[in-house]
Structure 1
Amino acid sequence: MCHVPGILDPPSHRSPSPITITIVLRTAPAIQGGKDYLYSPSENVIASPQPEVAALSRWHGAPPKGIGLEVNLLAQSKQYLNWGSAENAHPMDIFSLAVTDKQTLTAGGSPDIKIHSTADADFPLVQSIDNAHNVGCHHIVTDGKGSRAISSGFDGKIKAWTCQDGYWAAEQKLTADLEAAKAWAIALSEDGQYLAGVNQEGRIKVWDLAADATQIRDHETKGSYGTCIDLSADGRFIATGHADGSVYIFTTETGRMPFSLAGLVKNVRTVAFSPAGKILAAAGDTRVIVLYDTASGEQIASFTGHTAWIMSLSWSSTGEYLLSSGFDGKIKVWSMQTKTCVATLSETDKAVWSVKWLPKTGKTEAFATVGENCSIAFYREATG
């Protein structure tokens, strides 16, 4: 992931593409079984709707009499270019990444939290919160405005941070209020008022940060280690993933658990609500991403492609694309419209622990990644 910033990358840095089949009609306007295909009279083309066909050079089987067919493989993809990197941003693995409109906050095996600017082309380090957690930090999250961050360290402590004019400082009173709070994974509401966490016993708790971090919810599950958590953007739902493969959704208004979701039988390492809160994505050691309808609890889709544990998921601002990263070093972009992978980046064989879309400031989407290589990599959508 260590690349020099540039406008264009070599072809090897461009992402491979899912493939669809296009059948070009040479002598007739239709073929047998044409109902299974999309026909374009003006272009004399029939396009197969089947995505991600690995390899096919000629038509399989004899074509109808009098019809000559040529099968072309057309790449249907999005291209993402390496936009730059902050190399060796930490001396050890970077486990967690949070983003604001102009900054990234990163934390990992070292004691410090690092803040880099995304408003400058070379992504400079603008602040280091030294000794934020003595033995490192595994989770850091921010609110929607980028004015508050919460970090959870390997020392068992949860700490609060506030941002003013781009500079981060400890919220000492709130940190003291959170001293009794214990959680492995954490999530912060969009307005920064509510903190949700799940602990090693699988208990899910919610604290009101505007009321001296008063605990307002305590949900019990089946006792399996809570590995990940997310809050929907509208604040209606909490979702958690657990070491036994369980995924739960709770409603924040009533505290009820309407759904215990099936489909993953191994450790769930990441859960993420779509921006509208209508879909929950979950993934982990099964190497499968499962999508659930939050209104019914039903599984609506699943994605395969990673060859090792999936560590992180992130939705684009519109909910059109889902970003994933894995222990295999792969970063994938999935289209919700086609339910296919539309981009894969394979620039490292080291684990990519976390990925996040950056807030959209122009016409193109961009995202950041962190992982075992101790660096922050930035990618943007290719245009033109």
Structure 2
Amino acid sequence: MYRASSKVTSAHNDGVWSTFWTSRDQILSGSVDEVVKSWDASSLEESQSLSVVKQYPGHVLGTISVVATKDGRRAATSSLDCQVRILNLETGGVEKTIDTGAGETWQIAYDPTDKFLVSGSQQGKVNIINIEQEKIVQSIAANGKFIVSVAYSPDGKLVACGGFDGVVAIFDVETGTEVQKYQDRTKPVRSVAFSPDGSFLLAASDDMHVKIYD
């Protein structure tokens, strides 16, 4: 059974919207207080405590989403200020600040190569961001509603999204065409995730249900 083995009181000055545990045992947290923090989790099992490694202020509005690369060296953050920032977790610096346009970035996720990010938008689009080029290179029209959750398939060929209207959709990245759509719920789908082999899609919603699609 899992239990609460550690607690950080007042980890941020406002609500915490996103967390991520990196492969290098750092915990990342993003908050409405406009700050992203990295925490050292390497000794968590022994000391049951977390210490702040670095704080990354700079977003003008609250941080929506924070994710890290597979090697744990870099992280990406998205914010209500319509910017995506690329953080270097080794140096503690900000490598890139990408302006995505009003309402064009909500939750983000890395592709398997860590060279692209997928993001949902308030305009009902799924956007592909080329990190090196620092811009959106592809926009896929989803269902016309606010896209609140996104995920890449393990092979990088598909992206899934969950909408505020409850619609779950899967798209082919290369062609931008819709592969599958599920319209069996009416409340926001806050999280989507592919299984490790890519054969199943998990979706969690405000309707209190978690569903697995194949």
The reply to whether TM is greater than 0.5 is: yes
Alignment check: 8 A CA contact 2:125 2:141 kept: yes
Q: Letter of the aligned partner of 2:79 in structure 1? A: N
User: Is 2:80 aligned against 1:203?
Assistant: no
Distance 1:140 1:202 in 2: 19
**Which of these residues, 115, 126, 143, is aligned with residue 264 of structure 1?**
143
Could you tell me which residue of structure 2 aligns to residue 130 of structure 1? 9
**Partner SS state of residue 5, structure 2:** strand
Q: Name which of 129, 149, 156 aligns with 2:27.
A: 149
* Conserved 8 A contact 1:161-1:168: no
Q: Deviations over 1:76-97 (max 9, x none)?
A: xxxxxxxxxxxxxxxxxxxxxx
* Structure 2 residue ranges without an equivalent (≥5): none
| Counterpart-to-counterpart distance in 1, 2:35 and 2:132 | 28
- Cα deviation for residue 140 of structure 1 reads 0.7
Aligned length: 209
CA distance in structure 2 between the partners assigned to 1:220 and 1:185 by the alignment: 15
- Output the CA distance in 2 between the equivalents of 1:247 and 1:168: 38
Q: Distance in 1 between matches of 2:34 and 2:10?
A: 14
2:70 is the counterpart of 1:170: no
The alpha-carbon distance between structure 1 residues 133 and 288, as it changes in their structure 2 partners (threshold 3 A), is same
CA shift at 1:295, angstroms? 2.4
The unaligned stretches of length 5 or more in structure 1 are: 1-121, 336-384
1:211 CA drift (Å): 2.9
Alpha-carbon shift at residue 168 of structure 1 (Å):
5.1
Give the Å deviation of 1:290: 1.4
Deviations 1:348-371 (A, max 9, x none): xxxxxxxxxxxxxxxxxxxxxxxx
The AA in structure 2 aligned to 1:232 is D
Higher relative contact order (Cα pairs below 8 Å, separated by 6+ residues)? 1
RMSD between aligned residues: 2.0
Would you say the 8 A contact 1:203–1:223 is kept in 2? no
Percent identity reads 20
Q: Does 1:331 align with 2:210?
A: yes
Which among 110, 113, 119 is matched to residue 231 of structure 1? 110
Give the distance between the partners of 1:134 and 1:258, measured in 2 at CA.
Answer: 35
Q: Is the 8 A contact 1:202 1:242 kept in 2?
A: no
* 1:134 aligned partner, one-letter code: N
Q: What do the CA deviations read for 1:326-378 (whole angstroms, capped 9, x no partner)?
A: 1111110011xxxxxxxxxxxxxxxxxxxxxxxxxxxxxxxxxxxxxxxxxxx
- For 1:262 and 1:294, the matched residues in 2 are separated by 12
Give the conservation status (yes or no) of the 8 Å contact 1:201–1:225: no
For normalisation by structure 1, the TM-score amounts to: 0.51
Change (3 A) 1:202 1:247: farther
Aligned-pair CA distance for 1:133: 1.7
Match of 1:215 among 82, 85, 95: 95
Match of 1:274? 153
Q: Is 2:168 aligned against 1:283?
A: no
Instruction: State how far apart, in whole Å, the 2-side matches of 1:205 and 1:268 are.
Output: 20
> For residue 170 of structure 1, what is the amino acid of its counterpart?
S
